[in-house]
Amino acid sequence: MWITAKAPSLAEFEEMAQESFARLPHEFRALCEDVIIRVDDFPTDEVLEELGAQTEFDLLGLFQGIGLPQRSSQDIAPMPNMIWLYRRPILDYWAENDETLGHIVSHVLIHEIGHHFGLSDDDMEEIEAQVAD
């Protein structure tokens, strides 16, 4: 079977991200209804420069937008909050570690959503423990 195995395409990876999102606890997902999840091969050069990344493989995911703790009723129609998952760096991480691809995608997704909510690492670990790969 491994001889014919291929890395998931962008579309397959997006489907995997949506399935991972669907497995998150209901109360956590309900608070995320305005967050858009996107998948791309790599972050843009602007993102890499802004975050001081050494290589395009340094960033597995990114939350872009205004997190819930920073929102104000005075905000003027902000851009939608987005979570980016970067396929190629995630695949590279997967190849170098002893974790399932589904676990890594869920971990990155939870971590980026955690930025949206302003959660601590302990809070994110607790949510991650509730998710089955």
CATH number at residue 88: 3.30.2010.20
Whether 2 is in a domain gets the answer no
Q: Which tens digits make up the pLDDT trace of 106-120? A: 999 999 888 777 788
What is the rounded distance in angstroms from the CA atom of residue 115 to the CA atom of residue 112?
Answer: 5
What is the rounded distance in angstroms from the CA atom of residue 102 to the CA atom of residue 17?
Answer: 8
Whether 5 is in a domain gets the answer no
Structural domains of the chain, count: 1
Q: Which tens digits make up the pLDDT trace of 32-78? A: 767 889 999 999 999 999 999 999 999 999 988 765 544 555 656 56
Whether 122 is in a domain gets the answer yes
What is the reported pTM? 0.84
Domain enclosing residue 113, as ranges = 10-65+80-129
Whether 73 is in a domain gets the answer no
Whether 22 is in a domain gets the answer yes
Other CB atoms within 10 A of residue 45 CB? 10
Whether 39 is in a domain gets the answer yes
